[in-house]
Amino acid sequence: MGWQARQTKASGTLKPVRLIPYGEDPLAVLVDTLLTDQASRLPQLDHVTILLPDLAESQRLRHLLLTHHKKPGALLGPQISTLRSYLEANTPPAGSILNTHAQELMLVEVLRNHPLSGQGNPWHLADELLKLFEALQLGPGEKLSMESIPTAFSNEAANIQLLWQAWQTQLDTEKATTRANLYSNGLSNALFLEQQKDKQIYFLGYDWLHHAELDFLLRYLKKGQAQIFVSPDQPLWSQLHQAGISLPENNEKDELGTLLNSVYADDRQVLKDRAKGYRKKPSPLVGRISIFKAGDAEQEARAIDIQARQWLLDGHQYIAIVTEDRRLARRISALLRRANIDAQDSAGWPLSTTTAAGTLERWLETVESDFNHLPMIDVLKSGFLSSPEFSKEAVYHLQLDIIEREGVPHNVQAYRQALTNRTAAPGGKRSAIVEQTYTLLDHLEHAAAPLLHVMSRSALDPESMIDALRESLVRLGLWHGYDLDSAGQRIQQELQDMQQALNHLDLKLDWFEFRSWLGRALETHNFRPALENSPIRIMRFDQSRLGRYDGVIIAGADNQHLPGSQHRQIFFNEAARYELGLQTWEIERQQCFSQYRRLLQAAPQILISYTGESGDSPALPSSWIDLLETFHDYTSEQSIENQDLHQMLTLESAQIESPYPANNPEPAMQPRPAMPLELVPKQISASSHQQLIDCPYHFFAARGLRLREREQIAEILGKREFGSLIHRCLQAFHSNLDDLDGPFAQTVTEDNRANATQMLESISLQVFEPELETNFEHRGWWQLWQGLLPGYIDWQIKRAETWTVSDVEKEYRRPIGNTSTQLMGKIDRIDQQSAGFGLIDYKTGTIATPAKVESGEAVQLLTYALLIEETLETVYLGFDARKGVKTESKVDQEVLAQLLPAVEARLVSMLTAIEHGHTLPAWGDDSSCRFCEIAGLCRKPTWHSDGIP
Ligand code: SF4
């Protein structure tokens, strides 16, 4: 046995370790111990400090101190803090302290000149490195040093050492320090504590400590100035044991605690044998712990919602919902809100997922994409803009009349021009709405101006960028909208912190780097709505370790979330982490288990829930839950499965009613209307032909009812898409277009390759240049096309050996059977040889597979072949960043000879059937439905099964 608790209360020193039985409230144990230890000095407790891992339970701790203190006089102290804040506050800094934003910025700057920067996103790398530097600083063994490379380090570690040295040099140059340095210095020196001999410190809630933290703790335990409260399953228990601290016996007396200790005993006895001693007794689990297995995630969320509300009705005032499944947490929150219960979500969620951050992102996209209508309309309808410039009428006029009807996809000047054209039309006059729409556009342009200015600069100090962003948001009115929204206020705060981070830093960023920095700030900082007094708290496991509740729900207790899986570490594998004294996955697992184990006794009633399915695959419960259930099955006939909840889920009285009662809609049926003769289209293009094959109802709605405004817009917008720009370049290269260079009049061969390339480059520049000026995103396309262009010339040289270009971008038509419909198609390129034609379709996106083409399922190229007699082959020419320029899904003459008559006969028969009043059923498969524009009309997910023939 090492040194131990020889000190006594009489000598004014503290007993080093106290055990907290799982069944007891840790804060109450601390308060009782502290008031007893300090009885002689009460009510004076200003020499006492209580250190907790976080301050979430500090209010309850103060309340317990006040209520348990029975002696006269108001308590003076104690101080309640975290170890880190306590030391940081008492350690003089050696330079100005950088906040996390500033540290990331500086480290990204260091990484720019280092080989490691090639390993991925520099912001992510910086984030991981900062954590790693701190962990290595607090770990055991050889510390990172400015002189030598630790012998335990591999090449990878040596690289990190070099980075750390560069980082420290940068800090020295900037006369700055980090909170991690301050904390590390505080742990090793703590001079202020050395001078306060009567200071006494209580540690509570720590599961595991870094080596330097443990050293600090042991120093003051040995002096009798500190006391720590631990539970047997915490990894800290082993750390103290290994440090030679004698630990108290775990004499569990509680019946449930004894049983749970047997369930999770770490011994060689098999579970069944361990369970023997508990047979024939009423199980303490029954009525105390129950398990709910849900069929799907929605059912689990609804069951938890019902259980939480039931407990509230039973008078419970403090309910914890503990889960690592953030999606489930948000769903539960939403369900409770339907019942007017605002649960306090202690874990919060990334700021980037809030509507406020989403609107900011859409505004930046609006400016970057030259006022593209999609992000712009989202901003205008966000609900954050309340200034008179954004009247609803003006927004709808802009969307419906200018963007949709006039087909203007982006550019403020183009929107204005379309407005002018409309009012100049016969009968058109400038109404109040038109005037409001002009004002709206002026306002948008004015708000974007500061951002456009900084975006146009190659590199700028980030302070000016934040100023410009703020100014833009103020002008837009979004800043004012943020004043009234708690997530918006957090964004304002974050921008302020980012600005502060830049004090004294001499950095230059381009717009892309600034965007990454901003995006990272919103992603890595959480938002927690302030709801201090809610009776229901949703939290992670580590946030539950000091709580005591009336009811606990351990939710999402499947093996993917409890204990979850090992995070992917960028640096060092598990073995190296263990050697370097860094936190390993095994330690994390032990911490999670001790938190879970404590929760099982943290309330008189516990519900554990999990979902039996995850996506398409069955999910397993956590092995800890499995063990509990199996052990119980060995000991008792009574199930601990929560049947009540299953039953309540079926009860209407357990559901929250809508405040707007209405009859439930009739179950929807699979639509299969007939098309009135006058609605049958007079022409059918390759894409409508495809639509008819994929889903006749889609064809009916889009082509018959002409519900295809969105599609038309998409087509108009598509003209500016990457594929269309390439089409235009190649059209000019092979034919005469007035406004562009070209065509290249000779056959392209190896001999004239340079001239051909030069010509295509010159055409491409003319096509892309106007787009580059107005649209930020197009710069990436330009680079992509520059990379693909030589591949096209290679392909063309080969192609020209057997084919000559006959026509490009040409439209063809012909009647189809005896129907009243014409078949039509615009073919990208028709090549010729003596025996016939080769049809080419340029593709920058997904290409139909050969199997789909040859089975007649993908009909685009076959439709073209129906239009051109003597077609010898059809091919897709793919333009792909990865694969280069390549022909795909080629169909030759022999296959065409078999396929075309069948495809034509099918089309004639379908059109004839439509003309004769046959119905058009909705039968789209998943791939068609995923992108279907009229899915809202067909409502496939709501179809009643009887409606499906
Ligand atoms: S959602 Fe699917 S089934 Fe419904 S119309 Fe669209 S493609 Fe057809």
Per-residue pLDDT of 175-198, as tens digits, reads: 888 888 889 889 988 777 777 778
Alpha helices in 740-848 (DSSP H): 753-774, 778-799
Q: Each residue of 876-918: pLDDT tens digit? A: 999 988 889 999 999 999 999 999 999 999 999 999 999 998 9
pLDDT, tens digit (0-9, with 9 covering 90-100), for 65-112: 999 987 777 888 899 999 999 998 888 887 778 888 888 888 887 777
What is the band of 656 on the pLDDT scale with cuts at 50, 70, 90?
low
Q: Is the CB of 286 under 6 A from ligand 1?
A: no
Residue 280 has φ and ψ, to the nearest 5°, of: 70, -5
Most confident of 37-51, 567-581, 645-659: 37-51
Does the CB atom of residue 671 touch ligand 1 within 6 A?
Answer: no
**65-84 burial, b if ≥16 CB within 10 A, otherwise e?**
beeebeeeeebebbebbbbb
CATH number of 352-527: 1.10.486
What type of residue is 921? P
Q: Which of 925, 926, 940 to mutate to test the pocket of ligand 1 (most atoms within 8 A of CB)?
A: 940
CATH class given for the domain over 9-90+197-251: alpha beta
Q: Does the C-beta of 698 come closer than 6 Å to ligand 1? A: yes
Residue bearing tokens 């443990």: 214
Res. 449: pLDDT tops 90: yes
| Burial status of residue 734 (CB atoms within 10 A of its CB: 0-12, 13-18, 19 or more) | buried
- 598-620: per-residue pLDDT in tens? 999 999 999 999 997 655 556 78
What is the pLDDT averaged over residues 821-847?
Answer: 93
Q: Which residues fall within 8 angstroms of residue 658, CB to CB, at 6 or more apart?
A: none
Q: How close is the Cα of 704 to the center of ligand 1, in Å?
A: 15
| b/e sequence 285-296, b meaning 16+ C-beta within 10 Å | beebbbbbbbee
Q: Is the CB of 202 under 6 A from ligand 1?
A: no
Please give the number of the atom of ligand 1 that sits closest to the Cα of 940.
Answer: 4
- What's the gap in Å between 882 CA and the centre of ligand 1? 32
HEC-encoded secondary structure of 466-535: HHHHHHHHHHHCHHHHHHCCHHHHHHHHHHHHHHHHCCCCCCCECHHHHHHHHHHHHHHCEECCCCCCCC
Cα–Cα distance measured from residue 61 to residue 65, given in angstroms and rounded to the nearest whole number: 6
Residues of the chain above pLDDT 90, percent:
46
C-alpha 911 – ligand 1 centre gap (Å): 19
Q: Indicate the SS3 state at residue 423.
A: helix
Topology, domain 673-715+802-949: Lambda Exonuclease; Chain A (3.90.320)
Domains 9-90+197-251 and 673-715+802-949 share a fold: no
**Dihedral sign computed on CA atoms, order 356, 359, 361, 367:** negative
Distance 888 CA to ligand 1 centre (A): 28
Non-local (6+) Cβ contacts of 902 within 8 A are 856
Bigger pLDDT: 192 or 650? 650
d(CA 50, CA 617): 47
For ligand 1, whether the C-beta of 934 sits within 6 Å is: yes
The amino acid at 516: S
Which ligand 1 atom is at minimum distance from the Cα of 925? 2
Q: What's residue 25's pLDDT?
A: 94
**What architecture (CATH level 2) is domain 271-348+535-654?**
3-Layer(aba) Sandwich (3.40)
| Sequence spans of domains, the chain | 9-90+197-251, 96-186, 271-348+535-654, 352-527, 673-715+802-949, 719-789
Task: Tell me, using a 6 A CB cutoff, whether residue 697 lines ligand 1.
Answer: yes
**Which stretches within 835-892 are classed as H helix?**
850-854, 860-867
Q: What is the pLDDT of residue 574?
A: 66
Ligand 1 and 939: CB distance under 6 A: no
Cα dihedral 465→471→473→475 (10° resolution): -150
Pick the more confident residue, 667 or 57: 57
Q: Give 173 or 545, the one with higher predicted confidence.
A: 545
